[in-house]
Amino acid sequence: MTNATLRKKHIVVIGGGFAGLNFVKQLYRNGFYDITVVDRNNYNYFTPLLYQVATSFLEPSSISYPFRRLFRNKNVAFRMATLLDVDTASRTLHLGDGSDLTYDILVFAAGSRTNFFGNENIRHQSFSLKGIDDALYLRNELLKNLERASLENDPDERRRMLTVVIAGGGPTGVEVAGMLAETKKYILGNDYPSLAQAPVNIHVVDGAPNLLAPMSAKTHAAAFNALQKLGVQVKLNTQVKDYHNGRVQLSDGTSIEAGTLIWAAGVIANSFSGIAAESMGRGKRMITDAFNKVKGYGDIYAIGDISIQFTDAKYPEGHPQVAQPAIQQGKTLARNLLRMAKGKPPKPFRYFDRGDMAIIGRQFAVADLFKHKLHLGGMIGLMGWLFIHVMSLVNYNNKIKTLYNWAVAYATRDQALRLIFRPGNRENRNQAAS
């Protein structure tokens, strides 16, 4: 048997989120492929809990874990780099660190980014929430805004500074609003006595007729009522059109003076130079077949948010860009590659909808499980939400930290994580003092 016969094929995975990590986990210590994961960060993070980092209820290390520790003794290589472009003819990846990487099989699992729909004012002046950096930046700015507001004597300016508009009534928007409302109710007056009687306004604006639009009618009503009880103002059938000079312009012609706009109104897939335009579908997602192979290529696959399939009869417009399709596609593709390595045919991907969940504040959650056949709300929904999210964290260290922080927050209605950390070298004399 020659060395060429023994050579393992090299799989390069772009992105280590839900899709990429679950793909790689199925291939730990396999005998058929060498694996390299490329990611711009050196850690995996749990996207559904980013908003709790942004609102100071969890620390970043509770929801993130280094790739090199995850892949230790698993026969998986890691490269911290960004992908600049793909040369599909030579099967070469050009990376942002100046190096090249060759592949036999390329798996795109790079997810999505915030979609600002071409509005530059919103892109530059609002806050998005797609990564740990975003969450920490938003946390810092929210806390700095409270510090400034506590010193502001002009009541109109203070009102503007303490007004937050959240564009998007999906899980991220609803959950951010709930946590901010909890902060307003239980923490603000204690930490900032001068703001105890100040008006704090939280608005959720969404273009759909219901909050959490893909979920059930029971959940729509429950989410709306829960936010209203927390003092959040909800405006539906309305879109945020612009944000300029502290004024949020709405599609119905009205406006809201607000010091903060949080943008959670849509995503668009990450895209890379070198992939043919005819392989791209709606939202820059790569068109894939039933086995997640990218249209027009024999050795390139796409999974998760970056992929769109039209082959699943139950989802003719493609699967939703949420965690469960990404997890299931990652696992299915890995198993298919193992099957093909053993001379067996691959199996087409079929998505099993396990349901949707959202938490609103510290005591209320909603869940639609098993294709919306089972609706949970209130404390039962909260327990279900807590269990599923804790079990989904990548290792026991994350699970223990998160459970501890949640227990403290629940028991005390508080959390001591409201710290402002400024990046940069304090010894750099050219750095601004602010």
* pLDDT (tens digit per residue) in 154-167: 999 999 999 999 99
pLDDT band at 4 (very low <50, low <70, confident <90, very high): very low
The mean predicted confidence, pLDDT, of the chain is 91
Contact residues for 325 (Cβ-Cβ < 8 A; gap 6+):
304, 319, 351
Q: Which residues are catalytic?
A: 175
Cα 158 from Cα 200, distance rounded (Å): 9
Please say if the pLDDT value at position 176 is more than 50.
Answer: yes
pLDDT at site 3: 44
State the architecture of 3-40+81-114+268-341 in CATH terms.
Answer: 3-Layer(bba) Sandwich (3.50)
pLDDT at site 426: 62
pLDDT band at 433 (very low <50, low <70, confident <90, very high): very low
pTM across the whole model: 0.91
CA distances from 65 to 13, 43, 49, 119, 344 (A): 18, 5, 14, 34, 35
Percent of the residues in the chain that have a pLDDT greater than 70, as a whole number: 95
* pLDDT (tens digit per residue) in 114-131: 999 999 999 999 999 999
DSSP per-residue string spanning 367-387: EEETTTTEEE-HHHHHHHHHH
- CATH number attached to the domain at 120-265+355-412: 3.50.50.100
Q: Are 388 and 380 in contact (CB under 8 A)?
A: no
Element (H, E) at 135: helix 132-151
* pLDDT (tens digit per residue) in 34-83: 999 999 999 999 999 999 999 998 899 999 999 999 999 999 999 999 99
Cα 231 from Cα 163, distance rounded (Å): 12
pLDDT at site 1: 41
pLDDT band at 388 (very low <50, low <70, confident <90, very high): confident
* pLDDT (tens digit per residue) in 244-266: 999 999 999 999 999 999 999 99
Query: Identical fold at 3-40+81-114+268-341 and 120-265+355-412?
Result: yes
pLDDT band at 335 (very low <50, low <70, confident <90, very high): very high
Cα 260 from Cα 161, distance rounded (Å): 7
Cα 409 from Cα 187, distance rounded (Å): 11
Cα 367 from Cα 379, distance rounded (Å): 11
Which amino acid is present at 357? M
Cα 56 from Cα 180, distance rounded (Å): 10
DSSP per-residue string spanning 41-98: SSEEE-GGGHHHHHTTSS-GGGSEEEHHHHTTTTTEEEEE--EEEEETTTTEEEETTS
* pLDDT (tens digit per residue) in 187-242: 899 999 999 999 999 999 999 999 999 888 989 999 999 999 999 999 999 999 99
Poorest-confidence range of 356-365, 392-401, 405-414? Answer: 405-414
Contact residues for 362 (Cβ-Cβ < 8 A; gap 6+):
182, 409, 410, 413
Please say if the pLDDT value at position 385 is more than 90.
Answer: no
Cα 203 from Cα 216, distance rounded (Å): 22
Which residues, listed in sequence order, are joined to residue 100 by a DSSP beta bridge? 94
Please say if the pLDDT value at position 431 is more than 70.
Answer: no
Cα 418 from Cα 143, distance rounded (Å): 7
Query: Domain coordinates of the chain in residue numbers?
Result: 3-40+81-114+268-341, 120-265+355-412
Cα angle 53-221-182, degrees, rounded to a multiple of 5: 30
pLDDT band at 6 (very low <50, low <70, confident <90, very high): low
Cα 36 from Cα 27, distance rounded (Å): 11
Cα 364 from Cα 379, distance rounded (Å): 6
Max CA-CA distance within the chain? 82
